A and B are shown apart, each in its own frame.
Chain A
Amino acid sequence: MSERTLRNQSRDPLAVEYSAALAGLSVVPIATFFAAFVVGGLTLAGQRSLGSTILGIEIETVLTALLFVAGGCLLAISVGSRYGVIETTPDRSAGLGVASGFGFVAFSGIGLAMSQTFGLGRLVWAPLALIGGLTVAGAIVFAREDLGVTVPAGLFSVAIGSLVLFDGLTPAWAWSPAGFGVTFNGTVLIPLLTIVAGLVTAWAAANAFEGFGAAGRQAGAFFLIGANATLILLVLLLLIAFIVKNGFWYAVDGIEIGPGLNFHWPFVMDGYDVVLNQKGIYPAIIGTFWLVVGALVMAVPIGVGAAVFLTEYAEEGRFTSVIDIATNGLWSTPSVVFGLFGYAFLVPRLGNNTSLLAGMIVLGFMLLPLVLITSREAIKSVPDEYRDASAALGVSKWETIKDVTIPSAMPGIVTGIIIGIGRIAGETAPILIVTADNPQRSSAPAIMGSFELTTSPPFIVNEALLSGSSALPYQLYGAITTGVVGDDPGYGWATAFVLLLVVLSFYVIGITTRIYFRKKLQA
């Protein structure tokens, strides 16, 4: 059922048309919220100072103006709605949730002002703040919904605006709560409070936009939930953009192409060598490559095999539930615990030193539950018709599994494996404990060239597999702990950039294949 039909149902069918005044007044606070978010965000991030200007107006003034405009619009709506100038359909009360929210704000505001600004004792401020908070909450509960939503939100915004306007809160203002060793500065609080007030007024405005009532509450809630989703997107984009901005140019510095097939990318193709003045991460890239290959060799056959057994052969019962608990337990076991396990179990048995092989096995153990869970889901989602059709043709169960079930489940299995690779390629803690030895290596482990046959067991030895190595995430950790980042921050950012590029490309490939196959399945 579409959103629109729902909305119309919930309203009084005779009063569907709301005035343009309401729409106009309630859009303004939403717009000012976005403005406050952008301007305040830039100020918080240190890109602009409160004293600098935008379009010739000081930022402090801009933020104050936004607070007054948003609060004023809400108060106008409340007056208009109360006296019937603006037609709305409010419920009898805004409800306990809204009341306790604003009550808590009033309690904290009064309490902080009394105890910190006026220095009153606990016995004085606590009862006063409690009375203030309860009064606000009670007033909201007993007021009609339109007033209960807009008046406190508008007053909150105007109150903060007045604090800034009348110099109750200036950029130079500072507050150090006793015993915490922290100082809250006006430079941080002004933009922060503006954004918070902006969010509250925008929520109230979204509520008013739909004329309050059930539809209004839905608009308010959807606004908050949508804002949260946007915030998460924004955090992700900013994280990636920040790392690309800081690391990209360092990483691609000095690339030579030609003549002919000659191609040299110093940061990616050189080791770390102080004598040769090379600062590259080639050994770490190769280390991560081999770790991933080793983990795949370990985990994929075991994980897929177990998934097939559990879905196709095992009866649902105690056995499968024990395996379920074990798998999910392995999935949630902290990576550092895997590292400790490898240190106690593998390192003493594999030459008593940190080694690439130990890292492969530990990462394989970490990858195992991921592969198992996703493969099991994939095999389960193969329709039973496929199996029945194959069985009806007289094909044995194993042949069916081999030729029908597993190939049909392949997209799901492969997607799970790809995303699993993305996860283990970025794992640091186990590598740190079982594989790492020297964070700034000049040469990469030569796995392929190190295989040797011997006459005594274990007959095949590989020196490179049994010695330590670096890996991309460890390279970054090593750069932080050995102080390389302090001297040359670009090196750390570039390493983070390459690591992120490697890990996220696995995620992007994995997610894209999944969407592709799902679309294909639906078509």
Chain B
Amino acid sequence: MSNSLRTSDSSDIENPTAGDGRSPVLVAGGATLAGALLSFLFVPGVTVFFVLAFLGVAVYGWFVHQEATAKGLMFLATISTALVLVLITAYLFLRSFPAFEQMGLEILYTNGDYWSRGDDRYSLYPAIWGTVLTTILATLVAAPLGVASAIFISEIAPSWAHEIVKPAVETLAGIPSIVYGFIGFTIINGYMMDNFGLTSSGSIVVVGVVVGLMALPTVASVAEDAISSVPDHMKDGAVAIGATEWQTIKSVTLPASFSGISAAVLLGVGRAVGETMAATVILGNVMQLPEPLYNVFGNTVTLTSLIASQYGNAHGLHMQALFAAGVILFLTVMALSITAQLIEARVKQNLGGEL
């Protein structure tokens, strides 16, 4: 092996000088891939040539400069994750722009006459309100139960119960949303009509509870990470002065992991906001507000179920309005996700510093 005396760290430093032959390969690789992307965006027909050229360069590089090629490819892979997000943002905004332009602020709030294809009027107000209501209900279910199960898993459970409950919570996350929707549609909707005298199939409260159940595993697993990352020496202090386990949890562990737990709840809220199929199948998806506004037994539509139930026969401004719904969803969820990450980063800094 030619570089047998190199340590792992110094190879990085030597790259620029030792890699004279490599840079053309990297440049060629990058150029062909950028070409492939650009051509796919604007002239999809010729993309194949760029892809073939890129593959050629990559194969050549792999045999001649394996390390540099691998590193370059992995770098491209890293960039592409960010690129996907950029593309999603760009296409959502591009497609929804006419709807925002035409409707102005009325797309968010208007009085009466929300949705009319004849007049080309599309206000998302009922859908936004529906999403708000279902998300509040879902959070009321997911946050307390999720945090309680996180405490159970990380602090209380004896090891046999830990081995059962943790996988069970994960499996709960695995049940596809359409299955929840199917059960809601066939069983719970009928149950509510029979036992609670609801007049139409589907109500906000059912969606809220079902979506809450689906967001629960997210809250539980993120909160569990936060709770178990509280360093032992903090808890030991409480135990040393004679506190019970519950007193330790209540006055040391939970306050110390409070930020992490709120991040968990935020991520759970994000899941609930974006949950699509259960809402689509259970709700009636009528473009109307519940009467009165806080009537959780009413029937309405959410942003997600609006898209899923109407995209099939939408054209022109109608379709763009659906994209606008997508933009609102996307921005809400991104804001929640970024806030949660900032909180988590701060937690890591605070707790990590004391280790």
Contacts and interface: CB of A to CB of B under 8 A. Distances in A.
A390 B307 contact: no
A337 B336 contact: no
B213 to A, nearest CB: 7
A72 to B, nearest CB: 28
Grouping DSSP codes into helix (H, G, I), strand (E, B) and loop, the A interface class, with mixed when no group exceeds half, is helix
Contacts of A394: 1, 4-6
Interface in B1-29: 1, 3-9, 11-12
A400 B149 contact: no
Most chain A CB atoms below 10 A, which of B40, B183, B308: B308
B330 interface: yes
Nearest to A242: B183
Interface string A353-394: 000000000000100110010000000000000010011001
Interface residues of A, number: 116
A305 B329 contact: no
Given A337-B326, A457-B46, A309 B246 contact: no
Nearest to B307: A336
A504 B77 contact: no
Interface stretch (A101-109, A126-134, A213-221, A270-278): A213-221
Given A188-B196, A222-B246, A330 B341 contact: no
A397 B330 contact: no
Among B7, B47, B175, find the residue whose CB has the most chain A CB atoms closer than 10 A. Answer: B175
B59 interface: no
A287 interface: no
B300 interface: no
B253 interface: no
Contacts of B174: 419, 422-423, 426, 503-504, 506-507
B71 A511 contact: no
B149 A232 contact: yes
Contacts of A496: 179, 182-183
Contact of A397 (B11, B73, B273, B341): B11
Contacts of B196: 182-185, 188
Most interface-central of A329, A480, A485, A499 (chain B CB within 10 A): A329
Interface string B228-267: 0000000000010011111100100000000000000001
Contacts of A310: 78
A326 interface: yes
Given A7-B244, A232-B168, A334-B329, A499 B179 contact: yes
Interface bracket on B = 35 or more
A368 B46 CA distance: 26
A414 B202 CA distance: 40
B311 interface: yes
Contact of A428 (B74, B84, B177, B340): B177
A218 B248 CA distance: 10
A179 B145 CA distance: 30
A236 B168 contact: yes
Interface string A255-299: 000000000000000000000000000000000000000000000
A181 interface: yes
Contacts of A476: 178-179, 182
Contacts of B242: 9-10
B74 A305 contact: yes
Interface string A25-53: 00000000000000000000010000000
B216 interface: yes
Interface string B311-355: 100000000001100100110011011101100000000000000
A391 B9 CA distance: 9
Interface in A316-373: 322-341, 343-345, 349-350, 365, 368-369, 372
A515 B159 CA distance: 13
Contact of B168 (A226, A233, A322, A335): A233
A314 B304 contact: no
A340 B322 contact: yes
A492 to B, nearest CB: 6
Interface in B168-193: 168-179, 181-183, 185-186, 191
Given A336-B274, A500-B176, A480 B281 contact: yes
B88 A236 contact: no
B304 A396 contact: no
Nearest to A474: B178
A332 B271 contact: yes
B87 interface: yes
Contacts of A3: 245
B92 A337 contact: yes
A334 B274 contact: yes
Nearest to A320: B78
A228 B141 CA distance: 12
A320 to B, nearest CB: 9
A480 to B, nearest CB: 6
A332 B271 CA distance: 7
B197 A426 contact: no
A222 B156 contact: yes
A329 B247 contact: no
A143 interface: no
Contacts of B145: 228, 231-232
Contacts of A477: 178, 181, 277, 281
Given A218-B244, A229-B165, A496-B182, A390 B274 contact: no
Closest 7 pairs (CB-CB, A-B):
A334-B274, A426-B176, A183-B197, A218-B246, A305-B77, A309-B74, A398-B67
11 contacts: A6-B239, A9-B244, A221-B246, A232-B149, A232-B172, A313-B74, A322-B82, A330-B85, A333-B333, A334-B276, A335-B276
Interface of B: 1, 3-9, 11-12, 40, 44-49, 66-67, 70-71, 73-78, 80-82, 84-85, 87-88, 91-92, 94-95, 145, 148-149, 151-153, 156-157, 161, 163-165, 167-179, 181-183, 185-186, 191, 195-199, 213, 216, 239, 242-247, 250, 267, 270-271, 273-277, 280-281, 291-292, 295, 297-298, 304, 307-308, 311, 322-323, 326, 329-330, 333-334, 336-338, 340-341
Interface of A: 1, 3, 6-7, 9-10, 46, 174, 176, 179-185, 187-188, 214-215, 217-218, 221-222, 224-226, 228-229, 231-233, 235-236, 239, 242-243, 301-303, 305-306, 308-310, 313-314, 322-341, 343-345, 349-350, 365, 368-369, 372, 387, 390-391, 394-398, 400, 402, 419, 422-423, 425-429, 432-433, 457-459, 473, 476-477, 480, 485, 489, 492, 496, 499-500, 503-504, 506-508, 511, 515
